Amino acid sequence: MTVALLGDGARTTRIVLASASAIRATLLRHAGIPVDIVPARVDEAALKQSMRAERADAADCAAALAALKAQRVSDQHPGALVIGADQMLECDGVWFDKPVDRAQASASLRALRGKTHELVAAVTVLRDGASLWRYVGRARLTMRPFTDGFIDAYLDALGEAALQSVGAYQLEGLGVQLFSHVDGDHFTILGLPLMPLLDFLRQHRIVPA
């Protein structure tokens, strides 16, 4: 899909999202930004392991993952504006990943309950391999001290959706019942700092100002 640049109907910019995340695509499309979805194939586990060895923090890792995804897709789509994004969850110095099964989802929720954790969402924009812009958003979320029985009932209700997000929750749905306090931008929590990204697109006349 393409977006016409203001003041020059003959020129267009194709916008590509280098992510398989349905929520990120939905956020952009609901904001009126047409995007093509081209998931990047990267070894996230290897990069995380390497950055942990280098004593990088979660924000640095999220930014590196977003940049790597955008770079891989930008190399394949010349001229396109490529958006890469990634999100990290850190609690007490531990990085949490998407759970691979129900047992891991349950373990994550038990580890996070009664504590405050940080979500870091990074976004970067490339064109023809060159970095044009990047941003890192942070949010702090506190889970209430729910019971093991609540975890079981929650996972029963959520089903496979619990495996689709880091921390085994979606704050926009049933996951809101896990929390006692949330401090931060809603879109950052969903995995895409949307308002700063829209500001960038407006400043560069990709979308109407």
Q: Give the active site residues.
A: 86
Q: Which of 65, 82, 75 is nearest to 126 (CA)?
A: 82
Helix (H, G, I), strand (E, B) or coil at 36: strand
Q: Which of 170, 120, 106, 128 is nearest to 16 (CA)?
A: 128
Alpha-carbon span 68 to 99, nearest angstrom: 22
Q: Which of 85, 209, 73 is nearest to 129 (CA)?
A: 73
Alpha-carbon span 184 to 27, nearest angstrom: 17
Please check whether residue 39 is in contact with residue 57, taking contact to mean a CB–CB distance below 8 angstroms. no
Alpha-carbon span 209 to 206, nearest angstrom: 9
Q: Which of 46, 175, 49 is nearest to 108 (CA)?
A: 175
Distances (CA, A) of 131 to 6, 70, 72, 81, 95: 22, 9, 12, 10, 26
